[in-house]
Structure 1
Amino acid sequence: MNGICTLANDTVYDQLIALLNSIEVILGSNTPVCIYPFDDQIEQIKAEIVNRPNVFIYEDSASIQRWDMFMQAASPQSINRKYRIYGGHRRFCAFDNPFDNFVYMDADTLLMNSLDGVFQKLNDYDCVVYDFQFYHPEKVYNIESQKLFNVFEQQQLKSEIFCSGFYGSKRGLFDQEKIEWLLSKLKEGESEILYKTGDQPVLNYMFMRSGIPIYNFAYHLPDSEKTGSSVTSKHFEERDNILYDKGNRLTYIHYIGIPPSITEAVCLGENIEFPYRDLFLHYRYLHEPEKRPVFTAPSRSYSESPNFFQRIFRKLKLNLRG
């Protein structure tokens, strides 16, 4: 069975609803979606998916614990120091269950197109991606480490590095034996080649160190056909709530760099501008347009002082509780 996976807790509730609605619009309401719990804060999500029979929360505690232990050993600083990405590695549970083939999408993405091409590629590859992370290897590996080039060939680093926010893969690629082997290599000193912390470097390492070929549409498609996916690209054109890159329909849009505190503040009525905001609000309020915020105050850019928006967000939350 094929399906879509994501990772969430109540902090990204608004983003998650927008994603689920975009999947419904593009693929239909029967598309199975599995949510891996970032942590235990999922009460809002549980209440919401009661009305979405195709969406369910992953409840295999043994699987979750297995990957928690793996991440603790592979990148202990990601857990011990309580970085904000804590829990992000639970997306790895997709390699256990529930789908034979899956596409993982971060909660801060929106689906813009069919995934048939991704699933078809999974007939020939065990990992299929679509992004330009390979232009920035320094966000995945420690490129100052000489050992990096002893572990991976230069061509691998130029073509296989990918963003962990969107990828297609398969169940069963990383059994306990493979996990133990990867950990042994990291303990032998290869941990120094990983970028500071987080699930993205570890996920790349898992595939690349295992010798699993990675197909990236962004690397292999002709320039006339490939599209971007990040909100940092300002040239996308919107038609009928779908984005196009120089006439080519995007597969997905990733609101990378827009923290959930910003989207939640916007949904609470604060007039904060961020790229493709109207598109996000369209999908967030697809089934409840009457609740879509109407902005009256002057707008501010999300790129202004983070401390300013943190104060706004706290004030909004306090007002709602009061």
Structure 2
Amino acid sequence: MNRGIYIVGNDRVMENAIALLNSIRRYDKDVTVYLIPFNDDYQQISEILTTVHNVQIFPDLELLSQFTQKIGEIFPQDFLALPNKMRKLVAWFGPLDEFIYIDTDIIVFEKIADNLDKLAEFDFICCDYHHKSEGLRNVFSPVVREKEIFTEAQLQDVFNSGFFASKKGCITAQIMEDTLRECATHKEYFDFSCGVTDQPILNYLILKLIDKRCNLVRVPGGEAGSWAGSLHFQEKNFILFDNKQQLKYVHWAGMKMKPGTPYYKLWEHYHHLHEPKRPLLQRLLSR
């Protein structure tokens, strides 16, 4: 069985991607990682990540192109702020049988691929407190509750789309297309007010199509939160803790990485983990 990690990126997010891959490789030197190009501007990030961290490029670029074209056909031009963010959905049709998807504005604090073992019980896994801290904001509008599109129990399963795990085949291409077309006819269901793109649509897909879901923070003895906007986390040996509970990862969702951003020095630590290799990185960047 092929297991591993997908990320989406281009040259614009290269520095974040370097920090993320440094953290992944800090705890797991062997896990397979695929880069799904966000657009055609990915030559620099590709060269650095493939050379330094043995990242592979998503092998079916034709599928990726066709999927992007299909998204453009399904959704009206003014529907999605950044349509290419939907490219993460090809994870269900890629080479990995079981996968974790991770946004590039994340760093991890453990051998993150071990979480794939939980897919023996579930078809979809996430690990965040969006349901508690944000409710339906940046996911669904009040219309979804008013029209009872989902039950209250289902609405407790909303999640941040920056980190999740699932299985190839549990959503087929045709069912995904049909459900995306359903989304495109009901813009009133979604909360795009803060500029999100994929998160509302992905939540709709998962709540509609996958019944065996698990948010790891909601199970007995569950995991800590992950949002960098939670300022009470404590750092020890370059790992964040919520009281005495270690975080799996920290996610700077909605934040720009710059001095003054919460936990910026921690991000810098992981960004520079391979400092001895910086001359190589600089040579690659100068090409």
State the TM-score, normalizing by the size of structure 1: 0.78
| 1:285 aligned partner | 272
Task: Verify: 1:129 aligned to 2:126, yes or no.
Answer: yes
Letter in 2 for 1:150: E
Question: In the TM superposition, what is the alpha-carbon distance from 1:257 to its structure 2 partner?
Answer: 2.5
| Equivalent residues of 1:111, 1:251 under 8 A apart | yes
After TM superposition, the structure 1 = structure 2 runs for residues 162-181 of structure 1, keeping only pairs within 5 Å, are 162-181=159-178
| Equivalent residues of 1:74, 1:186 under 8 A apart | no
| 2:212 aligned partner | 213
| Equivalent residues of 1:74, 1:191 under 8 A apart | no
| Equivalent residues of 2:127, 2:223 under 8 A apart | no
Q: Structure 2 CA distance, aligned partners of 1:153 and 1:275?
A: 35
Larger-Rg structure = 1
| Equivalent residues of 2:24, 2:112 under 8 A apart | no
Question: In the TM superposition, what is the alpha-carbon distance from 1:254 to its structure 2 partner?
Answer: 0.4
Letter in 2 for 1:164: S
Task: Verify: 1:57 aligned to 2:51, yes or no.
Answer: no
Q: Structure 1 CA distance, aligned partners of 2:3 and 2:74?
A: 29
Distance change (3 Å), C-alpha of 1:82 and 1:217: closer
After TM superposition, the structure 1 = structure 2 runs for residues 259-278 of structure 1, keeping only pairs within 5 Å, are 259=256, 262-263=257-258, 272-278=259-265
| Equivalent residues of 2:127, 2:217 under 8 A apart | yes
Task: Verify: 1:3 aligned to 2:4, yes or no.
Answer: yes
| Equivalent residues of 1:74, 1:202 under 8 A apart | no
- CA deviation digits over 1:222-261, x for unaligned, max 9? 3xx53110111111111111111111111011012222xx
Question: In the TM superposition, what is the alpha-carbon distance from 1:151 to its structure 2 partner?
Answer: 1.8
- CA deviation digits over 1:60-91, x for unaligned, max 9? 133213432443355434xx5783x3421111
Select between 248-257 and 171-180 the one with higher mean Cα deviation: 171-180
Q: Structure 2 CA distance, aligned partners of 1:132 and 1:244?
A: 15
Distance change (3 Å), C-alpha of 1:290 and 1:276: farther
| 1:31 aligned partner | 31
Select between 15-24 and 40-49 the one with higher mean Cα deviation: 40-49
Distance change (3 Å), C-alpha of 1:97 and 1:53: same
Q: Structure 1 CA distance, aligned partners of 2:95 and 2:277?
A: 36
Task: Verify: 1:13 aligned to 2:14, yes or no.
Answer: yes
Q: Structure 2 CA distance, aligned partners of 1:177 and 1:290?
A: 45
Question: In the TM superposition, what is the alpha-carbon distance from 1:282 to its structure 2 partner?
Answer: 1.0
Question: In the TM superposition, what is the alpha-carbon distance from 1:286 to its structure 2 partner?
Answer: 0.9
| Equivalent residues of 2:72, 2:83 under 8 A apart | no
Residue aligned with 1:243, SS? strand
| 2:150 aligned partner | 152
| Equivalent residues of 2:33, 2:55 under 8 A apart | yes
Distance change (3 Å), C-alpha of 1:149 and 1:41: same
Letter in 1 for 2:233: F
Q: Structure 2 CA distance, aligned partners of 1:125 and 1:49?
A: 31
Unaligned runs of 5+ in 2: 279-285
Q: Structure 2 CA distance, aligned partners of 1:239 and 1:34?
A: 30
Distance change (3 Å), C-alpha of 1:239 and 1:40: same
Task: Verify: 1:120 aligned to 2:107, yes or no.
Answer: no
| Equivalent residues of 2:21, 2:53 under 8 A apart | no
Question: In the TM superposition, what is the alpha-carbon distance from 1:177 to its structure 2 partner?
Answer: 2.0
Which of 171, 188, 192 is 2:188 aligned to? Answer: 192
Moved over 4 A (4+): none
Letter in 1 for 2:51: N
Question: In the TM superposition, what is the alpha-carbon distance from 1:179 to its structure 2 partner?
Answer: 2.2
Distance change (3 Å), C-alpha of 1:184 and 1:48: closer
Unaligned runs of 5+ in 1: 264-271, 292-320
Q: Structure 2 CA distance, aligned partners of 1:180 and 1:92?
A: 11
Residue aligned with 1:87, SS? helix
State the TM-score, normalizing by the size of structure 2: 0.86
After TM superposition, the structure 1 = structure 2 runs for residues 75-114 of structure 1, keeping only pairs within 5 Å, are 75-77=75-77, 80=78, 83=81, 85-114=82-111
| 2:141 aligned partner | 142
Q: Structure 2 CA distance, aligned partners of 1:290 and 1:65?
A: 33
Letter in 2 for 1:282: H
Q: Structure 1 CA distance, aligned partners of 2:218 and 2:80?
A: 34
Higher relative contact order (CA 8 A, sep 6+): 2
Select between 240-249 and 211-220 the one with higher mean Cα deviation: 211-220
Q: Structure 1 CA distance, aligned partners of 2:231 and 2:74?
A: 36
| Total equivalences in the alignment | 274
Letter in 1 for 2:188: E
Distance change (3 Å), C-alpha of 1:154 and 1:54: same
Distance change (3 Å), C-alpha of 1:50 and 1:150: closer
